[in-house]
Homo-oligomer: A and B are copies of this chain.
Amino acid sequence: MKKPIRGIIPPLVTPLSDNDTLDIDGLERLIEHTILGGVHGIFILGTTGEFASLSYKVRHQLIEQTCKIVKGRIPVFAGISDSAFAESLSLARKASDCGADAVVLTPPYYFASGQPELLEYLKRIMVQMPLPLFIYNMPANTKVVFEPQTVLAASSIPGIIGMKDSSSDLAYFKQIQYLLRDRKDFSFLVGPEEFLSEFVLTGGHGGVNGGANMFPKLYVSLYNASVNRDFETIFKLQEKVMQISTTIYKVGHHSSSYLKGLKCALSVIGICGDFMAEPFHRFKEPERTKIRQHLEDLNYRELL
């Protein structure tokens, strides 16, 4: 991989046929769909991939199957976040054995660590880490923020090559970019697709955007237009991205709306099923009808 890593790297949903059973056919269709859409890599076992709800057996199997399907055509990033140090390392070794390219790690998410504890944790885990690592900031789920000074200190630990920020706090992420301005090989990727373009226009490296599961071409095109400062195209495509953000992700009443809407839409489109891991459950018919209507309003077939 050329550093810094750039582009659209969808956080893959995990196709399931039952609460703890991988839908390998669905996974294959999804991966081929995103590769065909021109993505620059894929990220499995992220928040969008419901990683924390999957058993270890399934997480290991997903790493294996993904690497087998991808066959080196694009880089594979494997999430190894866990509340247990040993399980994170075990996932990292699996990823390495299967040929993944990098791993992605949040803070441990049951106990809230202080910043010095978090830095110490990173130092210790990196000693045994077999692959390059992205820091993954996701405070809504982990309760803990990687403070800018912690990232600055962590950036000098060998093996840490980038950061994905899903906090949606762009002022925060720009502070980190500035503090690490001399690390030209360090990659900055942003989660929320709503400001992918803004982020890339001023030097961000790309997006880990959930919508790219459905419409990889849309996000890849928006990324390219942003790199090229092609504002006409940016405005046209951003309109679609915002339409998705304010419709498909907003059916439902809980913080799970985004995940449920995304998986439901993938199922309506015919890419993979909408079975969700506990504690979530797929949308029932009334919500599914809304998702279908939102997709029609998008003229979604033209986006595929």
Q: Which residues of A line the B interface, CB within 8 A?
A: 19-20, 47, 50, 52-58, 83-87, 90, 107-114, 116-118, 120-121, 124-125, 140-143, 148, 168-172, 174-175, 177-179, 192, 194-195, 197-199, 201-203, 229, 231, 234-235, 238-239, 242-243, 245-246, 253-256, 277-281
Contact = CB atoms under 8 A, between A and B. Distances in A.
23 contacts: A52-B108, A52-B110, A53-B110, A55-B86, A55-B87, A56-B56, A83-B83, A107-B279, A108-B279, A109-B110, A110-B141, A110-B142, A111-B256, A114-B255, A117-B254, A117-B279, A117-B280, A168-B171, A170-B198, A171-B194, A171-B195, A174-B242, A202-B234
A79 to B, nearest CB: 11
Given A114-B254, A279-B117, A175 B141 contact: no
Can you list the 10 inter-chain pairs with the closest CB atoms, starting with the nearest? A114-B254, A52-B110, A198-B198, A52-B83, A85-B278, A178-B242, A55-B86, A171-B194, A121-B279, A171-B192
A143 B241 CA distance: 29
Contacts of A246: 148, 175, 178-179
A244 B169 CA distance: 18
Given A229-B229, A229-B231, A280 B113 contact: yes
Nearest to A56: B56
Contact of A170 (B52, B141, B170): B170
Contacts of A175: 194, 242, 245-246
Contacts of A235: 202-203
A191 to B, nearest CB: 9
Contacts of A238: 202
A20 B85 contact: yes
B52 A243 contact: no
A202 B19 CA distance: 42
Contacts of A194: 170-171, 174-175
A113 B171 contact: no
A83 B178 CA distance: 35
A53 B84 contact: yes
Contact of A111 (B84, B174, B280): B280
Given A198-B199, A201-B201, 7 more contacts: A50-B111, A58-B86, A116-B254, A120-B279, A120-B281, A170-B170, A174-B245
Contact of A114 (B120, B201, B256): B256
A179 B203 CA distance: 27
A203 B53 CA distance: 37
A235 to B, nearest CB: 7
A171 B279 CA distance: 26
A155 B113 CA distance: 32
Contacts of A234: 202
